[in-house]
């Protein structure tokens, strides 16, 4: 693999196996707010977008008051009422350790809010692997490349010096729009056929394959 000055990871669906919890919490939030409960496939499709824009898209609404109620209900369920496991994918910690020990600089670009990413880092003990990050409440929502542009500017890099890794078309789109190399992972929420449309360098099917690709 080409040597990059910065390797940027999406979080949910790329490093953390969180899709089941997100689906469960979104469905419970819908039930709490008295709106039609979305299917698991529908929820999976919006994973990766910032929460409120994702909710507006999922429920096909421009009603800010409803979107706010659903957002608050989702957060309440996520933090307390839902017990769906949300582990790292097997092998993630070893991969991050190997990459950092080899001198790679790692970052995160995520649809999570800062509090959510910090909580996930604390729960998994992985925050020390990452030099920098951008979250949904610090940049425009994916697929805007804003968070990638911010990360590049912070490090004084060009798009050609960084690599984006993610499981959604939103990750691929935002990297493609600024000419950044990208790697798709098919074990997350978006199918390989959709990732392929954005011409990633490769698509891997497990953390084991991703680890091998990044250290080749």
**pLDDT tens by residue, 30-88:** 999 999 999 999 999 899 898 999 999 999 999 999 999 999 999 999 888 788 889 99
Q: Name the region of 103 (left: φ>0; alpha: ψ -120 to 50; beta: rest).
A: left
Q: What is the pLDDT of residue 82?
A: 80
Instruction: Dump pLDDT digits (tens) for 14-32.
Output: 999 999 999 999 999 999 9
Instruction: Dump pLDDT digits (tens) for 62-75.
Output: 999 999 999 999 99
Q: What is the pLDDT of residue 79?
A: 85
The yes-or-no verdict on residue 166 having pLDDT over 90 is: yes
Domains of the chain: 6-17+88-214 (3.40.50.1000), 19-81 (1.10.150)
Mean pLDDT for the stretch of residues 147-162 = 98
**How many residues does this entry show for the chain?**
216
Q: What is the pLDDT of residue 84?
A: 86
């Amino acid at each position: 693999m080409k040597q990059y000055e910065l390797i940027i990871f999406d979080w949910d669906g790329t490093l953390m196996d969180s899709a089941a919890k997100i689906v469960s919490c979104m469905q419970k939030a819908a039930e709490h707010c008295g709106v039609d409960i979305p299917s698991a496939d529908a929820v999976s499709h919006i994973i990766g977008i910032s929460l409120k824009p994702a909710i507006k898209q999922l429920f096909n609404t421009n009603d800010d008051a409803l979107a706010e109620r659903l957002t608050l209900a989702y957060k309440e369920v996520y933090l307390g009422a839902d017990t769906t496991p949300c582990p790292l994918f097997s092998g993630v910690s070893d991969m991050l350790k190997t990459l950092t020990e080899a001198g790679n600089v790692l970052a995160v670009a995520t649809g999570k809010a800062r509090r959510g990413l910090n909580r996930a880092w604390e729960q998994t003990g992985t925050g020390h692997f990452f030099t920098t990050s951008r979250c949904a409440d610090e940049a425009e929502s994916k697929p805007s490349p804003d968070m990638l542009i911010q990360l590049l500017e912070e490090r004084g890099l060009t798009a050609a010096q960084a690599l984006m890794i993610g499981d959604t078309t939103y990750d691929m789109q935002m990297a493609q729009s600024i000419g950044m190399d990208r790697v798709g992972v098919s074990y997350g929420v978006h199918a390989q056929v959709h990732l392929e449309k954005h011409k990633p360098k490769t698509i891997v099917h497990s953390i084991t394959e991703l680890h091998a690709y990044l250290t080749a």
